[in-house]
Amino acid sequence: MRRRNTQAFTFLAWTSFVCALSGMLIGIYTLEEPLSVKGYYLIGTLFLTMSCFVLQKTIRDNEEDNANNIHNEPASKKETIEK
């Protein structure tokens, strides 16, 4: 089976993710605000990061399910969908 992404693209994706998350965490650490404000921003950052991963997985799984359903349907249903 052919891989969907090249190694360079995978490296780019992970590198940009690590840089963005590191920049945000460094920004929170150097922020001159009370610890409660830093904690609020940190929890928000972690929740947003987790939500992005879950959303991406859900969308990918739904697309794969739709692709599998189209290939597994009887010919009569495929003709109806195409019309």
Q: Which residues contact 28 (CB under 8 A, 6 or more apart)?
A: 38, 41, 42, 45
Domain range list for the chain: 7-82
Alpha carbon 49 to its chain centroid, in Å, reads: 8
User: What is the pLDDT at residue 9?
Assistant: 93
- Answer yes or no: are the C-beta atoms of 55 and 49 closer than 8 Å: no
Judge whether residue 75 has pLDDT over 80: no
Nearest residue to 60 via CA among 22, 6, 5, 1: 5
Q: For 12-69, what is each residue's pLDDT tens digit? A: 999 999 999 999 999 999 999 999 999 999 999 999 999 999 999 999 999 989 888 8
